[in-house]
């Protein structure tokens, strides 16, 4: 499918969505967010797609934030609609039954940090920068920044970023748990593709259950979360891949998973 503001590619079971507004540092307007929703829906529904990567075009930005030129004169109801579109899109990515990686190649500010946090993992270039600077223009984060950030790095650190509006570099983001790995710029996308390809070869239903159990168990009581885990684990015993995986282990050979 062709998009105006995204590049959408699928190779060996891995979909790569590239934000492609380099002159605007890949800032997100409503059209781009709508396209992201469409692309994520394709990833959800296409069984040939096993994993997803989000990244930015050029070497300066992943997503430098929401497009201020579009937002400046919005009325409250229009702003709410824009926020709702962003939340719906990021929740779709967050709950995809497939793993996702944000390959953050530069600025990930405001909406850029929020988009990255909807992914399961964040791999960053050593040139990447993060932040929630909305307070500096009289706003607060509107696509989950006040919620997902605290869940990832703790309430105190999240308040520091949201209420102070400062940027942090990739190393600091790694230290506080916002990113999983840091790579030299030229190694970032190859590393993300290698890891995504590895996950694409793993049992898809088990990956789905692992993600579901962690996503939906996180806010439950421990007893209820453990019950969810048990039920998700039990469901894996309905698959051919479980039989193949255990059989291969006992026979001391590599498994041949088929995604069913």
Instruction: Kindly report, residue by residue over 185-230, the tens digit of the pLDDT.
Output: 999 999 999 999 999 999 999 999 999 999 999 999 999 999 999 9
- So what's the pLDDT on residue 238? 97
> Would you place residue 9 in the very low, low, confident or very high pLDDT band (cuts 50, 70, 90)?
very high
**pLDDT, tens digit, for every residue of 87-125?**
999 999 999 999 999 999 999 999 999 999 999 999 999
CA distance 23 to 65: 13
Fold entry, domain 6-200? 2-enoyl-CoA Hydratase; Chain A, domain 1 (3.90.226)
Q: Has residue 2 got a pLDDT over 90? A: no
- So what's the pLDDT on residue 231? 98
- Provide the mean pLDDT of the chain: 97
Per CATH, domain 204-251 is 1.20.120: no
Q: Has residue 1 got a pLDDT over 80? A: no
- So what's the pLDDT on residue 260? 84
Q: Has residue 81 got a pLDDT over 90? A: yes
- Counting residues of the chain whose pLDDT is more than 70, the rounded percentage is 100
- So what's the pLDDT on residue 237? 97
**pLDDT, tens digit, for every residue of 45-62?**
999 999 999 999 998 999
Domain boundaries, the chain: 6-200, 204-251
User: Residue 96, exposed/middle/buried by CB under 10 A (0-12, 13-18, 19+)?
Assistant: buried
> Would you place residue 161 in the very low, low, confident or very high pLDDT band (cuts 50, 70, 90)?
very high
The catalytic residue positions are: 114, 134
- Counting residues of the chain whose pLDDT is more than 90, the rounded percentage is 98
């Amino acid at each position: 499918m062709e998009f105006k503001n995204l590049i959408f590619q699928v190779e060996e079971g891995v979909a790569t969505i590239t934000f492609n507004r380099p002159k605007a540092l890949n800032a997100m307007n409503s059209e781009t967010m709508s396209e992201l929703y469409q692309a994520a829906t394709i990833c959800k529904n296409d069984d040939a797609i096993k994993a997803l990567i989000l990244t930015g075009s050029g070497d300066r930005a992943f997503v430098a934030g929401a497009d201020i030129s579009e937002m400046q004169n919005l009325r409250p109801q229009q702003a709410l609609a824009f926020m709702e579109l962003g939340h719906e899109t990021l929740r779709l990515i967050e709950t995809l039954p497939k793993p996702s990686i944000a390959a953050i190649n530069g600025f990930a500010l405001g909406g850029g940090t929020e988009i990255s946090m909807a992914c399961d993992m964040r791999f960053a270039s050593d040139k990447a920068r993060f932040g929630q600077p909305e307070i500096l223009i009289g706003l607060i984060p509107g696509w989950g920044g006040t919620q997902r950030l605290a869940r990832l790095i703790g309430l105190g650190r999240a308040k520091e970023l949201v209420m102070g509006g400062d940027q942090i570099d990739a190393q600091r983001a790694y230290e506080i748990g916002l990113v999983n790995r840091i790579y030299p710029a030229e190694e970032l996308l190859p590393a993300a593709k290698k890891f995504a390809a590895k996950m694409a070869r793993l049992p898809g239903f088990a990956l789905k259950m692992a993600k579901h159990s962690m996503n939906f168990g996180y806010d439950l009581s421990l007893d209820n979360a453990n019950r969810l885990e048990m039920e998700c684990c039990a469901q894996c015993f309905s698959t051919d891949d479980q039989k193949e995986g255990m059989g291969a282990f006992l026979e001391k050979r590599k498994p041949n998973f088929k995604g069913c």
